[in-house]
Amino acid sequence: MKKTQVFLTIFMFHLCVSKGQLQVGYYSETCPNAEAIVNYVVSEAAKHDPRMAPMLLRLHYQDCFVEGCDGSILINDESVTNPERGAYAHQGVGGFEQIEKAKLFLEYTCPGVVSCADIVALAARDAVVLAGGPFYEVETGRRDGLISNQSLADDMPDVDDSIDTLKSKFMNKGLSEKELVLLIGAHTIGTAACFFMPKRLYDFTGQNNSCDSDPEINPYFLPVLKQKCPKDGDINVRIPLDAETNEKFDDQILRNIKNGMAVIASDARLYDDTFTKQVVNSYVYESIWNIPTSSFLQDFAMAMVKMGRIGVKDDSNGEIRQVCSSFN
């Protein structure tokens, strides 16, 4: 066998292993209405709560970055000691009720067929579309994980991580620096609690005084942030991650980052690195000049598909839960 054939064989083997049994339309015969049911639940929930889209999007992201996209974040069973959902990194995560509701409908329609992990992935896609973002085909066929523990979330990307740490954490999940920018771009919708702001606004270098703020914050924007999140104020107050178009999925968050108007520190850090800064600028200038090349929305969709392949479980190390918050 020629060297090129050997290489291609090895490459295709690893590709199959990395994707597991994932495929678009996995439930087309076993549960043909699966995606429509999830879409219905998400659409109804979004009508009553404008926060639903960013919550479901974040739920998928948080799930995938721990044990992989396996629904481990959903476990909330008293029989499980310290389940992952209670981890510090998952504070403020929501959307659990909608996943359970979709699962209830699916169990009635197609019992024991659709995994909770797939519901989370489908719900995130539908949430993005409802917010005006891109539609993309979701690969399904995941199994639900058999492990859920708080300690496994210790290495989640953190709001106060340096750009080098963020790049390392994404690389450990098989995601590139460009995909780091794209996935952080999801902050174009949603809010953040003042809980995540004190270090950036009042103790950035550890001097512990009210003037010790992140120098990357636009001087005109700094007093706005401090007014919304005063030093001794209510840490539960929530502020938009993108004050310009908070409920619309667009590329405005990248403009904000470029202009020093990122709300949370991890967003701002994209401008600390030469490569990620170039990526941010490339999308901003494409938009300004209307260049018909790859757009942020198209690339974001591809990044979501790739993220959805992280740590996928199959029948050898997963299951189809009957209830998403409990192991079978």
**pLDDT score recorded for residue 21:** 84
Note the pLDDT tens digit of each residue in 9-21: 333 333 333 455 8
Residue 42 parent element (H or E) = helix 34-48
Q: Is 232 helix (H, G, I), strand (E, B) or coil?
A: coil
* Sign, CA torsion 105/110/113/118: negative
Phi-psi region of 141 (alpha: psi -120 to 50; beta: other; left: phi over 0): left
d(Cα 174, Cα 215) in Å, to the nearest integer?
31
What does the block give as tokens for 294? 């790859």
* Residue closest to 21 by CA, chosen among 301, 315, 307, 320: 315
Q: At what angle do helices 116-130 and 52-64 cross, to 10 degrees?
A: 140
Note the pLDDT tens digit of each residue in 29-71: 999 999 999 999 999 999 999 899 999 999 999 999 999 999 9
pTM of structure: 0.91
**pLDDT score recorded for residue 237:** 96
**pLDDT score recorded for residue 207:** 72
Query: What proportion of the chain, given as a percentage, has pLDDT over 70?
Result: 90
Known binding residues for heme b: 187
d(Cα 225, Cα 101) in Å, to the nearest integer?
37
Q: Provide the 8-state DSSP code for 89.
A: G
Known binding residues: 63, 66, 68, 70, 72, 84, 157, 187-188, 242, 245, 250
pLDDT tier at 79, thresholds 50, 70, 90: confident
* CB distance 123 to 69 below 8 Å: no
**pLDDT score recorded for residue 30:** 97
What does the block give as tokens for 119? 């519901």
Phi, psi angle pair for 114, to nearest 5°: -95, 125
Note the pLDDT tens digit of each residue in 256-273: 999 999 999 999 999 999
pLDDT tier at 211, thresholds 50, 70, 90: confident
Buried residues in 88-116 as b, exposed as e (16+ CB within 10 A): ebbeebebbebbbbbbebbbeebeeebbb
d(Cα 210, Cα 294) in Å, to the nearest integer?
42
* Residue closest to 120 by CA, chosen among 137, 104, 96, 141: 96
Domains and CATH numbers, the chain: 21-156+308-319 (1.10.520.10), 163-306 (1.10.420.10)
Average pLDDT over residues 108-112: 97
Note the pLDDT tens digit of each residue in 212-224: 899 999 999 999 9
d(Cα 77, Cα 255) in Å, to the nearest integer?
42
**pLDDT score recorded for residue 174:** 97
Q: How big is the chain by its Cα radius of gyration, in Å?
A: 20
Known binding residues for Ca(2+): 63, 66, 68, 70, 72, 84, 188, 242, 245, 250
Known binding residues for substrate: 157
Query: What proportion of the chain, given as a percentage, has pLDDT over 90?
Result: 83
Whether the predicted pLDDT of 163 surpasses 60: yes
Mean pLDDT, rounded, of the chain: 91
d(Cα 137, Cα 156) in Å, to the nearest integer?
26
Distance of CA 37 to the CA centre of its chain: 22
Whether the predicted pLDDT of 7 surpasses 60: no
* Sign, CA torsion 60/302/135/105: negative
Average pLDDT over residues 151-170: 96
Buried residues in 64-87 as b, exposed as e (16+ CB within 10 A): bbbbbbbbbbbbbeeebeebbbeb
Average pLDDT over residues 162-168: 98
Whole-angstrom CA distances from 275 to 179, 303, 311 are 12, 17, 27
Whether the predicted pLDDT of 290 surpasses 70: no
What does the block give as tokens for 232? 């001794």
Strand partners, 304: none
pLDDT tier at 210, thresholds 50, 70, 90: low
d(Cα 323, Cα 116) in Å, to the nearest integer?
8
